[in-house]
Structure 1
Amino acid sequence: MVAAVTQTKYEVKDLALAPQGKQRIEWAAREMPVIKQIRERFAQEKPLAGIRLVACCHVTTETANLAITLQAGGADALLIASNPLSTQDDVAACLVAEYGIPVYAIKGEDNETYHRHVQIALDHKPNIIIDDGSDVVATLIQERQDQLSDIIGTTEETTTGIVRLQAMFKDGVLTFPAMNVNDAETKHFFDNRYGTGQSTLDGIIRATNVLLAGKTVVVAGYGWCGKGVAMRARGLGSSVIVTEINPVRAIEAAMDGFRVMPMSEAASQGDLFVTVTGNKHVIRPEHFEAMKDGAMVCNSGHFDIEIDLKSLGAKATEVKEVRNFTQQYQMPNGKSIVVLGEGRLVNLAAAEGHPSAVMDMSFANQALACEYLVKNKDSLQPGLHSIPTEVDQEIAALKLAAMGIKIDTLTSEQIEYINSWTVGT
């Protein structure tokens, strides 16, 4: 352990937290059988040997299991935090002390520290970047043009990051392949829906200890994350309103049994507001003005820009901490607005993020996407690439096997039928 520390550069809160972090990493691993099988194969085959890899992720127990898997595959990996409130300090300490992985992450780090860590990550001269939100890739393109020739590719698993990568490619600045992990079926169907759904409400309840039954919950955005939050809030007895800009998703929300209306109408009705859009200023001053006294607002999208907190803070006569991760803004009209987790990802700011069982599939996609980039580095063109269907299917099959679930297989007659156009009804 001492040898690993002396050879490893790092910035973490306290290395003495490492034993606690090790326990928690191992506990998470119990629920991550797919990544375990990939790690065992990686340890034998070393598909990432000689690859310098940077990961900008939430530094959690689940991410630790991914980092250990990448290291087992031969990668020279360095890890930084993608969000200042999502770092688990004991986990960061353990990765340094037990595994010799350079980690630059401290819970509560300020923006200046975060951006400095992004620069440290790029100083590692990565060949592959695992990015949550695409800040590292954006900084590389804007400030480190001389390093672009070193890049094999990047992987991205957040909706926000995919939107940014699409904009980069449209502008002609994304000159290397990017694996769209977010749109893999074994990622967004499960991580976004079940992971975000459960962990968001977990963060809200830990921060406030409020009873959600009987409350009106407004969910901004009905993508896979919004669907999960709305589903779980209804399951706990809440009356759920959905706001949307996409007419197809709005129809879907209505047919799923939720009330659908603009935020301008929902603002006066909600007791709790959850933003999951990936866009900017979804809740604005006019919405705050219309809210009930004591209304609670939080965000479960990647960046802390979905709620216009700057405007709220400028208008407030007083801001005070009323519980951990819970701030009350006193307004001139006598009402108060309660903000959870500083408007950052509430599931990671006030809780522990997604359960490890669902991150097992997401991080299996990340690990296999890195392997895919290396194996196909001479043929992949710049731009966004989907996770191959066979990889998605492999991950799902491994997960089912680990859960003890068996499914049917096609008979030879059925295979012939679905591949033929001559056989009708």
Structure 2
Amino acid sequence: MQTLEKRGDVKDLALADAGKSRIEWAASFMPVLAQIRDRFEKTKPLAGVRIGACLHVTTETANLMLALKAGGAEIALCASNPLSTQDDVAAALCAHYEIPTYAIKGEDEGTYYSHIESVIASKPHMSMDDGCDLVTTIYTKHNALLKEMIGGCEETTTGVIRLHAMEKDGVLPYPVIAVNDALTKHMFDNRYGTGQSTLDGVVRATNVLIAGSTVVVVGYGWCGRGVASRAKGLGAHVVVTEIDPRKALEAAMDGFQVLPMSEAAKTGDVFITVTGNFHVIRKEHFEVMKDGAIVCNSGHFNDELDLDALEALSTGKTAPREFVESYELRNGKTVRVLGQGRLINLAAGEGHPAAVMDMSFANQAMAAAHLAQNYKTLEKKVYSVPDHIDEEVAQLKLAAFGIAIDTPTPEQVKYMASWSEGT
């Protein structure tokens, strides 16, 4: 662990050159964010704004930080998950880009929260969260800072759920833009990003053959859709479990077998949770799993799995591979948990491809600028990304792909806005 005064807390600054190279590589796949960065360099929409960011410290996040800095922001960054940090990237942000970064892959819970405190010590005007830990820590422990805070952005489904709960309870401390709700975020990042990176994480951790196996996908939101389709593409028999009848019906019509978890637990070879909910795989499910079943999570928090119950069912555990813990159950079977039940795509892999994070982080950057310019007119509510931002991100991405689309004629515009045309 290496610390530089006012520069952050990272594993090893000697990794900085390798991290810089990988940040630049990711940038080559993020043309939308690059255009926004160029625009920010000229217009400085975040001049004088201190941003406290609690995000996965990856190459893609680094490019977001550089865009925000180009826009005039002062930034302090920490990890939003103990296993999601890329240590070389954290080192590069400190050493090459002078962005204070507090993140070490594998940090314990105490260090994780001390790093959040380090970001809070920068006295941010704006929060940028992935999971809502920064917002809740500020609200519960640093209420005095709120008078200077103008708003925040939230990246992921789990965090948006927590923010809506805060709003419902009347304790949301400032306006927050739910970046996750942008169509150019959840339709692409959640589906294509999570789908690819989750299976990549599973394979990196285990080298298991997906073809011919039964993969149980727990939850059929946008992330679940992506994981299920990618597992099917690799040749798996896919089973979906759901609590929402509409999503269960959609999964069935998409060609997947739909079962309650009590039944799916008996048949699965690989289990992947993507619900944003609590203890969706529990004691009664672990007890009936096949010998050697693989269990992992691609939702934000590891409490989607009841790991305490699994510990109680076990006589011991071994670590046969770097990201695998094999629990020896009293019934003679083993259950293999990947990445300590944390985000498997970041624990064992590199997370989403840069090309899809390009859109998500373009939304983040533009949402931050929107907040800085409009916070005085916003209430303490959770807001969706404004449509004009979402649409512009899509247009820029299409242009980057070299794809042209039609423009409606004046007659079509009039028709779409009229009620008088009939049969």
Give matches, 1:381-392, under 5 Å: 381-392=379-390
Give matches, 1:147-162, under 5 Å: 147-162=145-160
The Cα shift of 1:340 comes to 0.6
Task: Name the amino acid aligned to 2:15.
Answer: L
Task: Name the amino acid aligned to 1:270.
Answer: G
The residue aligned with 1:289 is 287
**What is the aligned counterpart of 1:19 among 17, 28, 41?**
17
The Cα shift of 1:315 comes to 2.2
- Whole-angstrom distance in 2 between the partners of 1:170 and 1:86: 30
**What is the aligned counterpart of 2:124 among 123, 126, 129?**
126
Q: Describe the superposition over 1:56-99 as per-residue Cα deviations: whole angstroms up to 9, x where unpaired.
A: 00000000000011111110100000011110000000011111
The yes-or-no answer on 1:339 pairing with 2:337 is yes
CA contact (8 A) 1:8 1:100 kept: no
Q: Structure 2 length normalisation: TM-score?
A: 0.98
The yes-or-no answer on 1:168 pairing with 2:180 is no
Task: Name the amino acid aligned to 2:144.
Answer: D
CA contact (8 A) 1:198 1:354 kept: yes
Q: Describe the superposition over 1:349-406 as per-residue Cα deviations: whole angstroms up to 9, x where unpaired.
A: 0000000000000000000110010110110111101111111110000000001001
The residue aligned with 1:225 is 223
The Cα shift of 1:6 comes to 6.6
Moved over 3 A (4+): 5-8
The residue aligned with 1:29 is 27
CA contact (8 A) 1:8 1:96 kept: no
The yes-or-no answer on 1:396 pairing with 2:394 is yes
The residue aligned with 1:104 is 102
The Cα shift of 1:423 comes to 2.5
Give matches, 1:258-269, under 5 Å: 258-269=256-267
The Cα shift of 1:142 comes to 0.8
- Whole-angstrom distance in 2 between the partners of 1:222 and 1:72: 38
Task: Name the amino acid aligned to 1:29.
Answer: A
- Whole-angstrom distance in 1 between the partners of 2:419 and 2:83: 56
The Cα shift of 1:175 comes to 2.9
**What is the aligned counterpart of 2:318 among 316, 320, 343?**
320
Give matches, 1:196-235, under 5 Å: 196-235=194-233
Local SS of the residue matching 1:268: helix
Task: Name the amino acid aligned to 2:131.
Answer: G
Local SS of the residue matching 1:290: coil
CA contact (8 A) 1:220 1:244 kept: yes
The residue aligned with 1:240 is 238
Q: Describe the superposition over 1:121-151 as per-residue Cα deviations: whole angstroms up to 9, x where unpaired.
A: 1111111100011011001111111111111
Local SS of the residue matching 2:335: strand
Query: What RMSD in Å do the two structures reach over aligned CA positions?
Result: 1.0
The residue aligned with 1:356 is 354
Task: Name the amino acid aligned to 2:122.
Answer: H
**What is the aligned counterpart of 1:83 among 77, 81, 84?**
81
Q: Describe the superposition over 1:140-176 as per-residue Cα deviations: whole angstroms up to 9, x where unpaired.
A: 1111111111111010111110110011111111131
The Cα shift of 1:7 comes to 6.9
- Whole-angstrom distance in 2 between the partners of 1:377 and 1:332: 57
The Cα shift of 1:45 comes to 0.7
Task: Name the amino acid aligned to 2:80.
Answer: S
CA contact (8 A) 2:10 2:91 kept: yes
Q: Describe the superposition over 1:28-47 as per-residue Cα deviations: whole angstroms up to 9, x where unpaired.
A: 00110000000001011111
Local SS of the residue matching 2:287: helix
Local SS of the residue matching 1:385: strand
CA contact (8 A) 1:53 1:126 kept: yes
- Whole-angstrom distance in 2 between the partners of 1:422 and 1:108: 63
**What is the aligned counterpart of 1:189 among 181, 187, 190?**
187
CA contact (8 A) 1:196 1:229 kept: yes
CA contact (8 A) 2:178 2:383 kept: yes
The Cα shift of 1:417 comes to 1.7
CA contact (8 A) 1:8 1:101 kept: no
The Cα shift of 1:422 comes to 2.3
Aligned residues: 421
The residue aligned with 1:273 is 271
Task: Name the amino acid aligned to 2:38.
Answer: E
Larger displacement relative to structure 2 (412-421 or 331-340): 412-421
The residue aligned with 1:380 is 378
CA contact (8 A) 2:205 2:338 kept: yes
The Cα shift of 1:411 comes to 1.3
Local SS of the residue matching 2:249: helix
- Whole-angstrom distance in 1 between the partners of 2:367 and 2:52: 14
The Cα shift of 1:419 comes to 1.9
The residue aligned with 2:414 is 416
The Cα shift of 1:264 comes to 0.4
Overall identity of the aligned pairs, in %? 62
The residue aligned with 2:45 is 47
- Whole-angstrom distance in 1 between the partners of 2:411 and 2:267: 57
Larger displacement relative to structure 2 (62-71 or 141-150): 141-150
Local SS of the residue matching 2:240: strand
- Whole-angstrom distance in 1 between the partners of 2:5 and 2:165: 39
CA contact (8 A) 2:139 2:173 kept: no
